Amino acid sequence: MNSIKHDRSLQINFHKNILSFHLFSPNHIVIDDILLKPENPFQYRYPLGKGNEWLIHSDVTRKDNIFYNGYYNQLNPRDIIRQQIQIYGVLQFIFKYQVVRGREIYKPLTGMERIRFIDKIGIDLFDHYWDYLEDNRFNIEKIGDSYKDIWFDDTLEQ
C-alpha cells in the first residue's frame, strides 16, 4: 500500500515539475532526471509560499501589461493565440454587411470564415478589439480580405 502512495506522490511531483519547467522555459522541454526528483527543482524561482498558480497569474499580468501598452512585438506565440481565441469568442465583434429581403443588416462573422479572418489580420486586430472593449459601438466590418472601422448608433439594429 505504501508503494502505491509513494508512486502516486512521485507521479504528482513529476507533473508539477513538468508544468513548472514549461512555465519557466516555454520554448523547449527536456525530459531529464531533474524532473523526476520529489522536490520541485524550480522552487527557488518562486516567492516563499507560492507555486505554479502564482507564475500563471503573473504571466497573465505580464501579458495584460503588454497589451495595454501596445508592445505586441514582445508577445510570445502562445499569448497571440490566446488573444485570438478570446476575440473569436466575442461574437458581437467583427461583422459582415448583408442585404436580406431588401434590408441592409450587419451579421456577426461566424465559423471558419471568422477563424480565417482573425488569423489573416493577426495582431493588427488587437488594437481594434481594445477599442471595441472601451466602447462597444465601435466595430469592424469584414470586406473581402480586409476590413473597415464602423460605428453603430444606439438606435441601429444589428
Q: Position 151: which residue type?
A: W
Buried b (16+ CB within 10 A) or exposed e, 11-30: eebeebbebbbeeeeeeeee
Q: What is the dihedral of CA 11, 17, 23, 28, to 10 degrees?
A: -90
Mean pLDDT of the chain: 78
Query: In terms of Cα–Cα distance, which of 113, 118, 120, 62 is closest to 86?
Result: 118
pLDDT one-digit tens code per residue, 95-106: 998 888 888 888
Which grid cell is 87? 476575440
CA 89-26-112 angle, 5° bins: 25
* Separation CA 111–CA 88 (nearest Å): 9
pLDDT band at 13 (very low <50, low <70, confident <90, very high): confident
If pLDDT is split at 50, 70 and 90, which confidence band does 137 have? Answer: confident
Q: What is the dihedral of CA 6, 11, 17, 20, to 10 degrees?
A: -130
Amino acid 85: pLDDT: 86
What torsion do the CA atoms of 92, 95, 98, 100 make, to the nearest 10 degrees? -10
Q: Are 75 and 66 in contact (CB under 8 A)?
A: yes
Instruction: Give the 3-state secondary structure of residue 95.
Output: strand
List the strands of the sheet with 138-143, edge to edge.
103-108, 95-100, 138-143, 146-151
Tell me: pLDDT of 155 over 50. no
Position 118 pLDDT exceeds 50:
yes
How high is the pLDDT of residue 93? 92
Q: Are 47 and 69 in contact, with CB atoms under 8 Å apart?
A: no
